[in-house]
Amino acid sequence: MSRRRAPLIAFALWALPAPAAAVDTWSNPFPGVRRLLRVTASQHIDALLIDLCAPGVSVRVTAPSERSRTVPSFGALVGAQAAVNGGFYNTANQAQTDGFVLHAGASWGGTDHDYVGPIAFGDARAEIVPHERVEGPQGWMREAVSGHPTLVVGGATRDNSGDTGLCPRNPRTAAGLTADHRTLILAVVDGRYAPTRVGMTCNELAALMRDLGARDALNLDGGGSATMWLSGVGVLNRPSDGTPRTVSNHLAVYARGSGAAPHCPPPAYRATYVMQSFPLARTTLDLAPGATSTGYLEMRNTGTATWTPARTRLGTTQPRDRASAVQGPDWLAPNRAAAIDRTVAPGATGRFTFTLRAPRMAGEYSEYFNLVEEGVTWFSEPGQGGPADNVIQVRVRTVPVMDAGTMAMDAGTMSADVGAMATDAGVDEDVGAMATDVGAMATDVGVDADRDDGPSVDAADAAFEEEGESGLVGETQGCECTAARPRGGATTGLGALVVAALLGALRAPRRSRRKGGEG
């Protein structure tokens, strides 16, 4: 930059209008792509937030045969849905780039050095390498463009104000990644159109990228190269040359709405079911009121973060953090059933052991659980890998039983009855013996009747009725008595008297006979 232009630039900075509130307009031009148009009194910003895990989303960089095209020309050539310009290059020989360019795993252009770093994409991976790290193309990288300087690293803004050659206010293109590396952020800032489109310094661009959600961000080629294009819409910004510039390399985005998302990194927190000792949710765990059952749930760590007993817990859901009706005595809290039993690295399996207690009131109680990284996230949050909040379930059923006190009283009553029955059994044996004797005597009387031709059977029946014994006989041994009467025969008056006397003995009160037996 020449000294002759410095006063003009200084005057332009002094003459800028005061910052004004931004007017943000959001839209969704493609599946997995959100577009932001931000306008203030001095800035015109176009940005794309691209979900690298949305179906059909992927990134494509320029092949050697495709270089030296405008951004819209390249985007249309490869059938992309969006495109921006890439990294710095030699205007005299566009095959020479500042840092390497990578397409389909093949590197071309320049080499890596300590003032250039790539934004790179590979299988289940997307990263920005800070410019001071000199590593060159890595084996996992499939697509990459290089830029400088690094704007944001690990959420911390870099101070690039000392870079007076590159970082004064200019049109800008930047790329960033969110903390989970699942969202790519592309931004183009118009410049050189004072006072409404003045461009940004590197530090201002870093602040913008952080505001858009970037944890890591990189400055790409800017100035007249800064261009953003959408399929079916065209160029979104106003390039400072008046028309899009022919540039060496580009970064394009596919957002087809279906298919693979090859750069989607695994989430930090994801769990996969392994096994459990509790009944599966289709079966209830039946318990008596207040009874408990201890068991476990095993889950495999399929995310990228390590689980620890201090932070990885099993919490209640549906809704989250509710106090559980089946909380056992070993729970950490009414809404936390257990902590993972050990440190569990990605790929390993851990266990949650906890107790369920049946409520006192009879009925069925359903409880849902999920994994939660305390102070960080639930595993079911967007950007994490799950499971969902309604997947891990137990069903406890309280089964009513007789009151223990009532059961004890009933047992005592039954014991007393058994004793009385045993006592009565002795008396009944005597009664039974007497009844047998009556039957025998009745038979004998019948035999005598054949000899004496006495009263008829009807007369004998009348004698029974006079004594009022028909019911008693019928209940105890009526069949035997009937069978003992000879067909066509009769009993004598003496026989009737004998039978009546014996029946009178049978009618004697049970209490008096029992008392006599004790004497």
103-152 pLDDT, tens digit per residue, is: 999 999 999 999 999 999 999 999 999 999 999 999 999 999 999 999 99
Residue 451 domain flag:
yes
Residue 514 domain flag:
yes
User: How confident is residue 183, by pLDDT bands cut at 50, 70 and 90?
Assistant: very high
What per-residue confidence (pLDDT) applies to 400?
87
Residue 511's domain comprises 422-518
Select the more confidently predicted residue: 515 or 26: 26
Are 139 and 245 found together in one domain?
Answer: yes
Give yes or no for a contact between 285 and 394, defined as CB atoms under 8 angstroms apart. Answer: yes
HSE-up of residue 464 (Cα within 13 Å, Cβ side)? 16
| Angle, helix 457-467 to helix 493-506, in steps of 10 degrees | 30
Are 223 and 86 found together in one domain?
Answer: yes
Residue 264 domain flag:
no
Are 45 and 98 found together in one domain?
Answer: yes
- Exposure string over 453-491, b if 16+ CB within 10 A, otherwise e: ebbebeebeebbeebebeeebeebbeeebeebbeeebbb
Are 321 and 224 found together in one domain?
Answer: no
What per-residue confidence (pLDDT) applies to 20?
57
Please tell me the least confidently modeled range out of 106-120, 165-179, 196-210, 400-414.
400-414
Are 394 and 476 found together in one domain?
Answer: no
- CA-based nearest residue to 429, from 498, 500, 510: 510
CA distance 226 to 13: 21
Query: Measured in whole angstroms, how far is the alpha carbon of residue 245 from the centre of its chain?
Result: 50
Are 373 and 466 found together in one domain?
Answer: no
What per-residue confidence (pLDDT) applies to 510?
44
- CA-based nearest residue to 48, from 38, 39, 56, 40: 38
What per-residue confidence (pLDDT) applies to 460?
35
Written as one letter, the residue type at 181 is: H
Written as one letter, the residue type at 341 is: D
Average pLDDT, rounded, for the chain: 82
What per-residue confidence (pLDDT) applies to 443?
42
Are 356 and 446 found together in one domain?
Answer: no
Give yes or no for a contact between 198 and 171, defined as CB atoms under 8 angstroms apart. Answer: no
What per-residue confidence (pLDDT) applies to 318?
96
Q: Which tokens hold the place of 68?
A: 């030296």
Select the more confidently predicted residue: 35 or 510: 35
Q: In what order do the strands lie in the sheet with 172-177?
A: 23-30, 33-39, 44-51, 183-189, 172-177, 216-219, 150-153, 156-157
- Look up tokens 């390590």; give the residue: 306
CA distance 149 to 155: 15
Give yes or no for a contact between 297 and 352, defined as CB atoms under 8 angstroms apart. Answer: yes
Q: Three-class SS of residue 194?
A: coil
Q: Each residue of 334-376: pLDDT tens digit?
A: 999 999 999 999 999 999 999 999 999 999 999 999 999 999 9
Angular region, 155: left φ>0, alpha ψ -120 to 50, beta rest: left
For the cut 80, the answer to whether the pLDDT of residue 13 exceeds it is no
For the cut 90, the answer to whether the pLDDT of residue 472 exceeds it is no
HSE-up of residue 7 (Cα within 13 Å, Cβ side)? 1
Give strand pairing partners of 147: 117
Are 394 and 427 found together in one domain?
Answer: no
Q: What is the pTM of this model?
A: 0.65
Q: Which of 255, 279, 302 is the last residue of a domain?
A: 255
Q: Which of 366, 398, 430 is the last residue of a domain?
A: 398
Give yes or no for a contact between 272 and 300, defined as CB atoms under 8 angstroms apart. Answer: yes
- What is the percent of the chain where pLDDT is above 70? 73
Give yes or no for a contact between 36 and 44, defined as CB atoms under 8 angstroms apart. Answer: no
Give yes or no for a contact between 48 and 56, defined as CB atoms under 8 angstroms apart. Answer: no
CA distance 338 to 307: 13
What per-residue confidence (pLDDT) applies to 508?
47
- Exposure string over 227-247, b if 16+ CB within 10 A, otherwise e: bbbbbeeebbbbbbeeebbeb
Select the more confidently predicted residue: 10 or 293: 293
User: How confident is residue 401, by pLDDT bands cut at 50, 70 and 90?
Assistant: confident
Are 382 and 433 found together in one domain?
Answer: no
For the cut 60, the answer to whether the pLDDT of residue 489 exceeds it is no
For the cut 70, the answer to whether the pLDDT of residue 518 exceeds it is no
Q: Which DSSP string corresponds to 397-450?
A: EEPP---HHHHHHHHHHHHHHHHHHHHHHHHHHHHHHHHHHHHHHHHHHHHHHH
Written as one letter, the residue type at 234 is: G
- Look up tokens 């079916």; give the residue: 232
For the cut 90, the answer to whether the pLDDT of residue 433 exceeds it is no
Are 438 and 378 found together in one domain?
Answer: no
User: How confident is residue 402, by pLDDT bands cut at 50, 70 and 90?
Assistant: low
What per-residue confidence (pLDDT) applies to 442?
39
Residue 412 domain flag:
no
Give yes or no for a contact between 300 and 274, defined as CB atoms under 8 angstroms apart. Answer: yes
Q: Which of 398, 431, 461 is the last residue of a domain?
A: 398
Q: Each residue of 162-178: pLDDT tens digit?
A: 999 999 999 999 999 99
For the cut 90, the answer to whether the pLDDT of residue 8 exceeds it is no
Are 75 and 195 found together in one domain?
Answer: yes
Residue 166 domain flag:
yes
Q: Strand 392-398 to strand 285-287: parallel, antiparallel, or no bridges (unpaired)?
A: parallel
3-state secondary structure 256-325: CCCCCCCCCCCCCCEEEEEEECCCCCCCCEEECCCCEEEEEEEEEECCCCCECCCCEEEEEECCCCCCCC
Instruction: Compute how many other C-beta atoms are within 10 angstroms of the C-beta atom of residue 269.
Output: 26
- CA-based nearest residue to 142, from 115, 118, 168, 121: 121
What per-residue confidence (pLDDT) applies to 19?
52
Question: Cis link prior to 400 (omega < 30° from 0)?
Answer: no
User: How confident is residue 21, by pLDDT bands cut at 50, 70 and 90?
Assistant: confident
CA distance 45 to 68: 25
- CA-based nearest residue to 132, from 109, 107, 108, 114: 114
Q: Three-class SS of residue 381?
A: coil
Q: Each residue of 115-126: pLDDT tens digit?
A: 999 999 999 999
Instruction: Compute how many other C-beta atoms are within 10 angstroms of the C-beta atom of residue 137.
Output: 18
Q: Which tokens hold the place of 51?
A: 């979900």
Residue 1 domain flag:
no
Are 388 and 465 found together in one domain?
Answer: no
Give yes or no for a contact between 144 and 101, defined as CB atoms under 8 angstroms apart. Answer: yes
For the cut 90, the answer to whether the pLDDT of residue 309 exceeds it is yes
Q: Each residue of 243-290: pLDDT tens digit?
A: 999 999 999 999 999 999 999 999 999 999 999 999 998 999 999 999
For the cut 80, the answer to whether the pLDDT of residue 89 exceeds it is yes
For the cut 90, the answer to whether the pLDDT of residue 409 exceeds it is no
Residue 404 domain flag:
no
Our count of domains for the chain comes to 3
- What is the percent of the chain where pLDDT is above 90? 72
What per-residue confidence (pLDDT) applies to 4?
35
Residue 410 domain flag:
no
Phi, psi of 98 (to 5 degrees): -85, 100
